Structure 1
Amino acid sequence: MITYAIGDIHGHIDLLRRAHDRIAADRARHGTGDAPVIHLGDLVDRGPDCRGVVQFLIDGMAAGQPWQVLKGNHDRMFTGFLSDMHHHDEGLRGELSWLHPRLGGAATLASYGVRHPADRPLAPVHADAVAAVPQAHIDFIDSRPTWLQRGEVVYVHAGIRPGVPMPEQRETDLVWIRAGFLDDPRDHGFLVVHGHTALDHATHYGNRVNIDSSAAYGGPLTAIVLEGREAFVLTDQGRVPLTP
């Protein structure tokens, strides 16, 4: 069972296009046909063209590309703000908000033409955002699944709550979890492929693979291919094995 996966995008449309170029080259080399590409969420925030990323994915899926897109915590905060300007995601620290500079919400709004929220009252910022963001983008993000399983691999944005069957997992854990998952070495019965926690490079921990290689902070956007539980990072020169 062959599956491609792409880590946290964060508005970097150029990096996303290049990741898909590497996948196309791998398809040509290895004859992987229409194996699906799973995007692990965090489409928006921090990067320069969040709107472009969302539209690229909508257009590709509408054209019949074998793509899946999961929901990340930043995606959930984005549409949560649009639904309620006082929305506070339950996974976010109490003193922060989606528009705090650390979260990168202002970059997302800027990509939709909304003037920077700094030193502006919240109400007009929210009104401008509601007017600017197409309903199709909101519906697309809100309807994203939070996890997928193919064979012996589960794909999810942040991780899982160990010991909890997948159908019983809480969405907040799936898009936010770190403690209790990252430090748990047990075999979950499947390999978990995730992002959310930024690293310098994709890393295989034996029971999980983290492919968030810090595109949000100037790093690369990682694309991998899995054959069963075997993982390979895609580079311009071809596949590089990713092992524990």
Structure 2
Amino acid sequence: MLIPFRRRNAPDRGPLPDVGEDVRIYAIGDIHGRDDLFAELLDRIAQDEADRPPLPRLLILLGDLVDRGPQSAQVVERAMAMARSKENVRFLKGNHEEVFIAAARGSAQAVRFFRRLGGIQTLASYGLTPHNSSAMSDTALAQWMLNHIPRDAVDFLDDFTDMLPVGGYLFVHAGVRPRIALEAQKPADLRWIRGDFLNHRRSFGRMIVHGHSITEEVDIQPNRIGIDTGAFASGKLTAIGLEKDRRWFLHTGIGKV
């Protein structure tokens, strides 16, 4: 289990980026199998919208919907229902989706990694107890996943995109590789990168909004904003709201700041 760490927020320098459209954006950080928090945060977003002038809404999920928490299947089903609705929702692929998809398509090698990433909790949400999954070989577990994880759920997760630019912002799961053009970024970096991205102090060309790396509070830096507040363990799921050159944050259990 990853332990949230503190990172001192840097002071803002210069004007904030602009989303550049007549749209209100809400981006949600890593949900990790906490459907209870997902539902609560969606309610908070609806309440926040009701307090603001009407605008078209874009909702972005930054990836890592699954693993670690107890309700991954329910999170995926809720996200699929949102995709089937008329809501304007975009989904970004995280490293946990990448491994889950490979395991659910029968890769024993991926299953070995999936177990270490909190996949046992995901399997429990699909009906396989931790005791039974722990007793199965990687090959047997891969076959179980192939037979029991709904194909439409796996295909849905595999359709997630890797990054989404909007105005002066770029939304991505993990981050970007410094000194590489945004259009030349590799999926592996967009889903997995940590240190090289987190420690980079210069501009990436756009303000990066990301999850993946857990902090106790929202991590605001001059070139990026991290909103993974470790919901699976902390109970604090975070969203950023953006409109023109304004930004604000919503959290489960706390409200807005």
TM-score of the two chains, using structure 1 as the length reference: 0.89
Residue 206 of structure 1 and its aligned partner are, at CA, apart by 1.4
CA–CA distance in structure 1, aligned partners of residues 99 and 175 of structure 2: 18
Higher relative contact order (CA 8 A, sep 6+): 2
1:98 aligns with 2:120: no
Aligned to 2:60: 38
CA–CA distance in structure 1, aligned partners of residues 42 and 56 of structure 2: 13
SS state of the match for residue 209, structure 1? strand
Q: Deviations over 1:56-103 (max 9, x none)?
A: 0110120111111111000110011122433349xxxxxx72112xx1
Which shows bigger deviation, 72-81 or 161-170? 161-170
The correspondence of residues 74-223 of structure 1 with structure 2, limited to 5 A, is: 74-88=96-110, 97-100=113-116, 103-116=117-130, 117-223=133-239
CA–CA distance in structure 2, aligned partners of residues 188 and 222 of structure 1: 23
SS state of the match for residue 164, structure 2? strand
Residue 122 of structure 1 and its aligned partner are, at CA, apart by 2.1
How has the CA–CA distance of structure 1 residues 149 and 126 changed in structure 2, closer, same or farther, with 3 Å as cutoff? Answer: same
Match of 1:72 among 89, 94, 106: 94
CA–CA distance in structure 1, aligned partners of residues 110 and 255 of structure 2: 43
Aligned to 2:16: none
> Which structure has the highest helix share of the two?
2
What amino acid is the match of 1:233? F
CA–CA distance in structure 2, aligned partners of residues 75 and 19 of structure 1: 21
Gaps of 5+ in 1: 90-95
Gaps of 5+ in 2: 1-20
Asked if structure 2 preserves the Cα contact closer than 8 Å seen for 1:203 and 1:210, the reply is yes
Q: Deviations over 1:161-220 (max 9, x none)?
A: 112222211000000001211000101121000000011121211110000001122230
Aligned to 2:80: 58
Which shows bigger deviation, 164-173 or 124-133? 124-133
CA–CA distance in structure 1, aligned partners of residues 55 and 48 of structure 2: 10
CA–CA distance in structure 2, aligned partners of residues 12 and 168 of structure 1: 33
Match of 2:48 among 5, 17, 26: 26
How has the CA–CA distance of structure 1 residues 25 and 180 changed in structure 2, closer, same or farther, with 3 Å as cutoff? Answer: same
Aligned to 1:7: 29
CA–CA distance in structure 2, aligned partners of residues 237 and 56 of structure 1: 23
TM-score of the two chains, using structure 2 as the length reference: 0.85
How has the CA–CA distance of structure 1 residues 10 and 41 changed in structure 2, closer, same or farther, with 3 Å as cutoff? Answer: same
Runs of 4+ deviating beyond 6 Å: none
